[in-house]
C-alpha cells in the first residue's frame, strides 16, 4: 500500500510540474483526433455504419498536401505572407483530396450495396476491402517509408503559457481545428444543407417524401467528413511526416474519440477528440510511452461500461 501511495505521489508531482507542456501537446493532438472523428460520426449519424476506410481518407489528404508543398516550396524557406498562403493551400489541398476520395469511396464501396439493400456486414467488408486496397496502392506507388513534408514555416516558439512553450505548429493546428469544427457545426445546425443532413439522419424515408435527395445528401456527408479528415492529414504530416500507414493509429484513436463523445454527435466528436488527446498526453506522467495506446483504449472501455452512449449521448439515424 505504501509503495502504491508513493507511486501516485511521485507521478502526480511530475504531472504538476509538466502540466502546461503536456496540456499544450495534448490539445494539439486532440484537435487532429477531433477533425478525423467528425468523418466517422457524420457517416454513422446518417447511415448507422462505421466507415473503416476513413483512415485512408486521412492518408490521401496527407499525400496530396505532401506533393503540393514539395511543388510550391521546393528548397526555399518561406516566411511571412507566403507561409500563411502555403498553410491555407495545404489545408485546402489536403481537404479537397480527402473530400474527393471520400466521394469516390461512397460511389464505389457504399452506394451499390445501399441500392441492393445489402446487410450491414456487407458494408463493413466493403469498407475494410477499400481500406486495404487504398493503403497498399499508396505503399506501392509512393514507397513504404516515412518522408518528411516540406515545411511552409519555421516551427519556432511564439509565446509561453505558464512557462510551457507554444510552437507555431501547435497554434496552427488549434486555429485551423477550431475554425473548421465551428464552421461545420454551424453548417449542419443552421443551413438548408444541414437541415437535409439532419432530416436524413432522423428518418430517411420521410425526408425523401419531403423532397430531400437522399443520395446527394449522403455524398455531401462523405465529402464534408472527407474534407475534415484530409485537412487533418496535412496538419499531421507537418509534424510526423507522411507514409502509407499513417492513417491507421490516428484514425483508430479518432474513432475512439467519436465513441467517447457520443457516436453520431458532432459536438461529442469534438469534445471526445480533445479529451482523448489531453488524457493521452497526461498519461506520459504515469506510464511508459509504449503504453499510451493501452491508456487510450482502456479509457474507451471504461466509458462504454459506465456510459455506453458516450459523454454527450449518441444520435442515431435510420439506415438510408
Cα distance between the two ends of the chain: 55
Q: Which pLDDT belongs to residue 319?
A: 46
Which are the contacts of 200, defined by CB distance < 8 A and separation ≥ 6? 46, 207, 212, 214, 217, 218, 317, 320
pLDDT at res. 90:
96
> What is the grid cell recorded at 20?
502546461
**How confident is the model at residue 148, as a pLDDT?**
93
Q: What is the pLDDT of residue 317?
A: 47
Give residue 315's pLDDT: 59
Report the pLDDT value the prediction gives residue 318, as an integer from 0 to 100.
Answer: 46
Q: Which residue's C-alpha cell is 479537397?
A: 96
Residue pointed to by grid coordinates 510526423:
240
Q: What three-state secondary structure class fits 69?
A: helix
For the chain, 320 residues long, give each residue's pLDDT as a single digit of tens. 555 555 556 656 667 778 888 889 999 999 999 999 999 999 998 888 889 899 999 999 999 999 999 999 977 778 789 999 999 999 999 999 999 999 999 999 999 998 888 888 899 899 999 999 998 999 999 988 899 999 999 888 898 888 888 999 999 999 999 999 999 999 988 888 888 988 888 888 888 888 889 999 999 999 999 999 999 999 999 999 999 999 999 999 999 999 888 888 888 999 999 999 999 988 887 777 777 888 888 887 887 788 778 887 765 444 45
Domain locations along the chain: 31-248
pLDDT for res 35: 96
Which pTM value belongs to this model? Answer: 0.92
Element (H, E) at 159: strand 157-161
3-state secondary structure (DSSP) of residue 158: strand
Q: Is residue 200 a contact partner of residue 207, using CB atoms and an 8 Å limit? A: yes
Quote the radius of gyration of the chain (alpha carbons, Å): 20
Query: Alpha-carbon distance 72 to 64, whole Å?
Result: 12
Residues in Cβ contact with 27 at an 8 Å cutoff, skipping those fewer than 6 apart: 170, 174, 274, 277, 278
CB atoms within 10 A of CB 81: 8
Amino acid at each position: 500500500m505504501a509503495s502504491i501511495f508513493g507511486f501516485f505521489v511521485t507521478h502526480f508531482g511530475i504531472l504538476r510540474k509538466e502540466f502546461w507542456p503536456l496540456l499544450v501537446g495534448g490539445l494539439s493532438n486532440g484537435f487532429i483526433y477531433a477533425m478525423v472523428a467528425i468523418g466517422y460520426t457524420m457517416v454513422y449519424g446518417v447511415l448507422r455504419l462505421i466507415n473503416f476506410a476513413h483512415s485512408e481518407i486521412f492518408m490521401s489528404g496527407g499525400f496530396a498536401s505532401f506533393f503540393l508543398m514539395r511543388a510550391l516550396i521546393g528548397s526555399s524557406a518561406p516566411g511571412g505572407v507566403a507561409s500563411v498562403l502555403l498553410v491555407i493551400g495545404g489545408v485546402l489541398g489536403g481537404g479537397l483530396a480527402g473530400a474527393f476520395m471520400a466521394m469516390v469511396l461512397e460511389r464505389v464501396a457504399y452506394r451499390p450495396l445501399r441500392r441492393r439493400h445489402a446487410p450491414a456486414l456487407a458494408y463493413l467488408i466493403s469498407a475494410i476491402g477499400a481500406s486495404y486496397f487504398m493503403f497498399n496502392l499508396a505503399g506501392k506507388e509512393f514507397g513504404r517509408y516515412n518522408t518528411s513534408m516540406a515545411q511552409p514555416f519555421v516551427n519556432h516558439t511564439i509565446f509561453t503559457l505558464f512557462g510551457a512553450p507554444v510552437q507555431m505548429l501547435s497554434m496552427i493546428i488549434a486555429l485551423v481545428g477550431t475554425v473548421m469544427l465551428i464552421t461545420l457545426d454551424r453548417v449542419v445546425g443552421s443551413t438548408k444543407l444541414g437541415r437535409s443532413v439532419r432530416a436524413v439522419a432522423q428518418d430517411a424515408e420521410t425526408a425523401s417524401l419531403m423532397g430531400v435527395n437522399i443520395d446527394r445528401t449522403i455524398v455531401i456527408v462523405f465529402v464534408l467528413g472527407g474534407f475534415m479528415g484530409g485537412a487533418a492529414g496535412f496538419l499531421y504530416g507537418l509534424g510526423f511526416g507522411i507514409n502509407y500507414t499513417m492513417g491507421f493509429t490516428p484514425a483508430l484513436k479518432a474513432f475512439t474519440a467519436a465513441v467517447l463523445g457520443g457516436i453520431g454527435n458532432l459536438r461529442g466528436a469534438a469534445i471526445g477528440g480533445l479529451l482523448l488527446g489531453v488524457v493521452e498526453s497526461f498519461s506520459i506522467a504515469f506510464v511508459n510511452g509504449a503504453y499510451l495506446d493501452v491508456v487510450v483504449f482502456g479509457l474507451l472501455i471504461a466509458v462504454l461500461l459506465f456510459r455506453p452512449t458516450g459523454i454527450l449521448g449518441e444520435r442515431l439515424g435510420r439506415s438510408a
